Amino acid sequence: MKILVVGGGGREHAIIKKLKENKSVEKIFALPGNGGMAEDATLVDIGAKDIPAIVEFAKANAIDYAVVAPDDPLVLGCVDALEAVGIPCFGPRANAAIIEGSKVFSKNLMKKYSIPTARYEVFSSADEALKYLDTAPIPTVIKADGLALGKGVIIAMTRDEARDAVKSIMQDKVFGKSGENIVIEEFLEGPEVSVLSFTDGEVVVPMISSQDHKRAHDGDTGLNTGGMGTVAPNPYYTDEIADVCMETIFLPTIRAMKAEGRTFRGCLYFGLMLTKDGPKVIEYNCRFGDPETQVVLPLLKSDLLTVMQATTNGTLKDTPVEFSLGSACCVIMASAGYPEAYEKGFTLTIPEDIKKNVFVAGAKLQDGVLKTNGGRVLGATCTSDTLEGAIDGAYAMVRTIKFDNAYYRTDIGKRALMAKESK
């Protein structure tokens, strides 16, 4: 089979490595991929948002199955466009990807179907939003409606911060059209859990739970990033909580999307907060999370391609999806300075014996030499019978990977370990 994977980061590298385990996969094309995955896939210089070019390439190369990984092409209708020329895909159509593409849509969906989430108000006028903020409970959370490169959520600890956020989104239009409407919502507290799931629109199969570390520095300090590391499973997510989530969140969401005529197929990501009033949805993503995928897929025992195809064909009910009972830890190595200004172009060396579990996010090949080419450069994942073993193993890998100006957090998994020990 010839497979096409749209996207180019660490998540896509993890997907590609897992797909390669299936013997029927002859060739994988990555659009655009990155130099760090050149040994695993054929890189094609087509951007992930260039849907006409993606479709042309897929037709010309007789692609058998396409995996559309990032949010932008999904929301823009990449799956619809590929399906229209007869290419089966993993991922939701645009009318279902809206669950991530519009926060107003997802909040209204949750309200209509009584799915637990933070209380909220929607605004399309800055004046009204500012007036509401005069009396709104503080802290509060301001969210741009549309996609904003992961930066569209502002946690305002004071009334002034909240007002500034509204002004920058709605008046200065820092996120462009994505900020024409905003959601202002209740600030929730509790441990966060990421649960990715496979769904064919009828059946929903949660994957092993995970925990992201979004802040740049140790102790969860510093700026928000695209994620500095992950562990799986998430120790806060007990079997009991998982049952509650299935009944109150996962199944109701899948059924709600179907009832709205927006059947969701692919990976639906539930960003949850375990509040004292029970689990609530913080956000939905219409795709695999990054860097959650880099710990979840290494623990998947079942064949990824088979499971993906079952979501497309509507046969998930009859398809076993099994995870290992162990743990995984992924430590992200970034360029010093990320998420602000950083330098790139440094030679990157990854020892041969650990490459299997190194997922490259930002690198390019220059005259055959791998150079750093992004803020987040790679993720090193270790799986082990214990969380402690996974953490130690991931840091042992990190110490053998070399590039100038490398930066990583030294406490990935520490909180999870403490939570586990205190049980």
**Residues 224-243, interacting with ligand GLY (CB under 6 A):** 227
Judged by CB, which is closer to ligand GLY: 35, or 227?
A: 227
**209 interacts with ligand GLY by CB under 6 A:** no
Q: How far is CA 340 from the centre of its chain?
A: 21
Q: What are phi and psi of 366, to 5 degrees?
A: -125, 115
In whole angstroms, give the CA distance from residue 289 to residue 83. 23
How near is the Cβ of 190 to ligand GLY at its closest, in Å? 17
- Least distance in angstroms from the C-beta of 230 to ligand GLY: 8
Q: Considering the rule CB under 6 A, would residue 290 count as an interface residue with ligand GLY?
A: yes
Q: 129 or 296, CB closer to ligand GLY?
A: 296
User: Of 187, 223, 366, 421, which one interacts with ligand AMP (CB under 6 A)?
Assistant: 187
Residue whose C-alpha is closest to residue 303's, from 324, 325, 320: 320
- Position 155 contacts ligand AMP (CB under 6 A): yes
CB nearer to ligand AMP: give 37 or 268.
268
Nearer to ligand GLY, 203 or 228 (CB): 228
Angle at which helices 304-313 and 10-19 cross, to 10°: 100
Question: Applying CB under 6 A, which part among 131-139, 171-179, 287-295, 331-339 lies near ligand GLY?
Answer: 287-295
Helix (H) or strand (E) holding 68: strand 65-68
210 binds ligand GLY (CB under 6 A): no
- Return the structure tokens found at 263: 């059947």
Q: Which of residues 9-48 bind ligand AMP (CB under 6 A)?
A: none
Q: How far is the CB of 188 from ligand AMP (least distance, A)?
A: 4
Residue 73: asked if its preceding bond is cis (omega within 30°), the reply is no
The CB-of-231 to ligand AMP minimum distance in angstroms stands at 15
If contact means CB under 5 to 8 A according to the sort of partner, which of ligand GLY, ligand AMP, none does residue 192 touch?
Answer: ligand AMP
Q: Which DSSP helix (H) or strand (E) runs through 138?
A: none
**Shorter beta-carbon distance to ligand AMP: residue 8 or 152:** 152
Q: Residue 364: CB partners within 8 Å, gap ≥ 6? A: 34, 35, 370, 371, 373
Residues with Cβ < 8 Å from 195, sequence gap 6 or more? Answer: 206, 207, 209, 210, 237, 245, 250, 269, 270, 272
User: Which range, of 182-190, 236-244, 318-326, 346-354, touches ligand AMP by CB under 6 A?
Assistant: 182-190
Q: What does 290 interact with, of ligand GLY, ligand AMP, none (CB < 5 to 8 A by kind)?
A: ligand GLY
Q: Is 153 in the site for ligand AMP (CB under 6 A)?
A: yes
The residue within the footprint of ligand AMP, chosen from 75, 97, 118, 350 (CB under 6 A), is 118
Residue from 64, 192, 260, 392 in contact with ligand AMP (CB under 6 A): 192
With CA atoms as reference, report the closest residue to 141 among 123, 125, 118, 168: 118
Give me the amino acid identity at 279.
P
Which listed residue (285, 294, 311, 319) binds ligand GLY by CB under 6 A? 285
Contact 2, 13 (CB under 8 A): no
- Report the distance separating Cα 199 and Cα 203, nearest Å: 6
Q: Which two tokens stand for residue 68?
A: 């559309």
CA distance 281 to 274: 9
For 392, half-sphere exposure in the C-beta direction (CA atoms, 13 angstrom radius) is 6
Quote the least distance from Cβ 400 to ligand GLY, whole Å.
26
Q: What angle do CA 196, 206, 37 make, to 5 degrees?
A: 40
Cα separation, 158 vs 168, in Å, equals 16
Least gap, CB of 285 to ligand GLY (angstroms):
5
Contact call for residue 222 and ligand AMP (CB under 6 A) = no
Helix (H, G, I), strand (E, B) or coil at 104: helix
* Rounded-to-10 torsion of CA 281, 283, 289, 295: -30
Q: Which does 155 bind (CB under 5 to 8 A by kind): ligand GLY, ligand AMP, none?
A: ligand AMP
Site for ligand GLY in 143-172 (CB under 6 A): 150
Number of residues this chain uses to bind ligand GLY (CB under 6 A): 7
Among residues 72, 283, 290, 303, which is the contact residue for ligand AMP, using CB under 6 A? 283
The whole-angstrom separation of Cα 16 and Cα 418 is: 33
CA distance linking residue 191 with residue 93, whole number of Å: 31
Site for ligand AMP contains 141 (CB under 6 A): yes
**Where on the chain is the footprint of ligand AMP (CB under 6 A)?**
118, 141, 150, 153, 155, 185-188, 192, 214, 271, 282-283
- Which residues lie near ligand GLY (CB under 6 A)? 150, 212, 227, 285, 289-290, 292
